[in-house]
Structure 1
């Protein structure tokens, strides 16, 4: 019988080599993260726009973010002894605050994308020499980006991140690719993964420690997991398939948008933050394409690159509305395989299904004869 291997990141050890991807605004909070961690995988809370779920976010967005993030980390850790991490976008205006809070609250790891995490908050640097400290994992879309981050850390701080997530163009939400690269086979996850692994081998030898590479973007089945582990990944990150679970923190309307969607409904949009994004087409996005603008009353510039003054809508508000089920005033980010979510199940059932799919493809002869 061929079981999934453990995923080790420093002294963290996940029985199931799956990281549940961080999904904002409010799609992956303590509910989903704790359920995933209970099943032996790694649960992730997204800090993006987390304060928009607080009643006073318009008055003091920064304080609302801080309070909400602390609350969600504490709730998740109360519900499970499994591995809990936080996804923190580099593009957030209060990025340093979120990193520091996550370390203070004992998050097991921080995953950081939507920009290059070169400047490292002091709490991460000080923690690198301690046991049971928060691990740091950047998200990259190329070997070149991985080399840039690791070389900078090595030269500036004398240390390197604990692992790296390499995300391909089939992912949901904001993408680290130009529009013309998304469908170019040269940028497929299968093509960029080996480059990142090669870079990590150099730093593993230099620092004498294992640096796991996590494959992400478009991974949907246990067979996909097996394929990318065979290509050299130590684990995978999956987000889209976890939306179709009871424990996902989004509204039922959000989840049903996945279940109802067809392949052609998933589209690439121009985000107000200057990056392409993948979402499920709806009337809100059709209105945007037709030039219909919704007044933007920005209480606080939550994303550094957001051109809110010239944007037709506030993306943070649109995503918050979608999380709450108000899809007429928002839209749903989704991976390229969202249309393959056919029903809503429990996280436990999903993990068991993925494990069975993995076993079936990794040891088919055993199951044919049994």
Structure 2
């Protein structure tokens, strides 16, 4: 235990500078997020197709997702018992993005973390509320563009910035070529440059804007490295999957435990972005053939049901429910290092 400084986001304080990444569909819901917050971190619920278990999801996905979001936030609050910080992750590429943000605000969430595109309109959607906002960026260029736009249009700056590097899981903010050529030490310079930029806006608005590093974070030594680069904390997702509290099925968790380093691959998502996943029968199959789309779940704005090779909602739901042979298993680059089922408390103790 190193007694690191807490992560302070406006008037919110996480005793341990760890943000649990938002993982959908259904990987990080109330059990995981509430448990992380209860241990003094930032617990994050993924809103991506969060209502897939609702009876009317296929007919009314938007209403089902909003209903489930409210339930999960309430459950997470009960689990956390008022400790830590509770956030939601809402992808910018989500259909009805603005409505999702407003629904999260209405349900009193502490923090909205938003990536998969630049959340250029986010400040206007939370105006008048206590909800803090945090963009996910992957480059200095995107950080400059976003901060400049928020400054000019809304006269504000982020409350938190998450820098997500090339080792992250799920959809990635890099091209396939960048992922093949990017240098880890070179990316340290990206982190330093973004930290410097964020500090300039912090000075302008006379507020503290913490920076969290994400992508490949697995051990407490990774937090130490991020702090050395000038960051204030880290975000990790993959390691939280193999916890007792994670909302995924045991079959999903076992896929992580069984994964070898050579099983980690880059896939092309139907929504137009590269993603990192575990090589399995499903990934091999969709490389050979197009799977029929039974129905559209209205998930991502860039999706064209007539053209995509498979439905990403169906693939992710199959995975989280335990049908891993027909599911897409998103993961971080260090998934092969997961070797046991542990508890959220054990992980948080390591990082405090």
Q: TM-score, normalised by structure 2?
A: 0.96
Gaps of 5+ in 2: none
* TM-aligned CA deviation for residue 126 of structure 1: 2.1
Does the 8 Å contact 2:61/2:298 carry over to 1?
A: no
**Pairing 1:106–2:104 present:** no
SS of residue in 1 equivalent to 2:202: helix
What residue number does 2:196 align with? 198
- Which residue of 2 is the match for residue 326 of structure 1? 323
CA distance 1:121–1:203, change in 2 (3 Å): closer
Q: 1:215–1:233: 8 Å Cα contact kept in structure 2?
A: yes
Alignment of 1:304-315 (within 5 A): 304-315=301-312
Distance 2:331 2:310 in 1: 19
User: Does the 8 A contact of 1:272 with 1:308 survive in 2?
Assistant: no
Cα distance, 1:353 vs. partner? 3.1
Shift of 1:122: 4.2
Does the aligned pair in 2 maintain the 1:85–1:110 contact within 8 Å?
yes
Deviations 1:288-338 (A, max 9, x none): 112x22211233421001132111210011001100001122121000000
Deviations 1:318-364 (A, max 9, x none): 00110000112212100000000001111111222344xxxxxxxxx
TM-aligned CA deviation for residue 96 of structure 1: 1.2
- Indicate yes or no: 2:87 matched with 1:85: yes
Aligned equivalents of 1:194, 1:268: Cα separation in 2: 26
Q: CA RMSD in A?
A: 1.3
Instruction: Tell me how far 1:121 sits from its aligned partner.
Output: 6.4
Residue 295 in 1 paired to residue 297 in 2? no
- The offset of 1:286, in angstroms, is 0.6
Contact 2:22 / 2:89 at 8 angstroms: preserved in 1? yes
Structure 2 residue aligned with 1:257: 255
Match in the other structure for 1:117? 119
**Counterpart check, 1:232 vs 2:230:** yes
Partner of 1:180: 177
Farther-moved stretch of structure 1 (183-192 vs 314-323): 183-192
CA contact (8 A) 1:42 1:85 kept: yes
Name the count of aligned residue pairs: 349
Secondary structure of 2:194's counterpart equals helix
Distance 1:59 1:121, change over 3 A: farther
CA distance in 2, matches of 1:179, 1:199: 26
8 A contact 1:110–1:136 mirrored in 2: yes
195-204 vs 138-147, which moves further: 195-204
SS in structure 2 of the partner of residue 111 of structure 1: strand
Q: Could you tell me whether the CA contact under 8 Å between 2:91 and 2:97 is conserved in 1?
A: yes
Supply the distance in 2 between the matched residues of 1:260 and 1:186 (Cα, whole angstroms): 27
Q: Which has the larger radius of gyration?
A: 1
Q: 2:20 aligned with 1:20, yes or no?
A: yes
Q: Does 1:316 align with 2:318?
A: no
Aligned residue number for residue 208 of structure 2? 210
Rounded to whole Å, the distance in 2 between the matches of 1:120 and 1:225 is 28
Q: In structure 2, how many angstroms separate the alpha carbons of the residues matched to 1:155 and 1:121?
A: 12
Listed as ranges, the matches of 1:4-83 within 5 Å are 4-80=4-80, 81-82=82-83, 83=85
Mapped partners of 2:155, 2:336: distance in 1? 45
The whole-number CA distance in structure 2 between the counterparts of 1:168 and 1:299 is: 31
1:343 equivalent to 2:333? Answer no
Contact 2:267 / 2:277 at 8 angstroms: preserved in 1?
A: yes
Take 2:204 and 2:349, find their aligned partners in 1: how far apart are those partners? Answer: 38
| 2:342 alignment partner, SS class | coil
Q: 1:160 aligns with which of 157, 160, 172?
A: 157
How far apart are the structure 2 equivalents of 1:185 and 1:196? 17
TM-score (norm: length of structure 1): 0.92
Give ranges in structure 1 of 5+ residues lacking alignment: 128-132, 356-370
Contact 1:22 1:28 in 2 (8 A): yes
Distance (Å, rounded) in 2 between the aligned partners of 1:6 and 1:293? 48
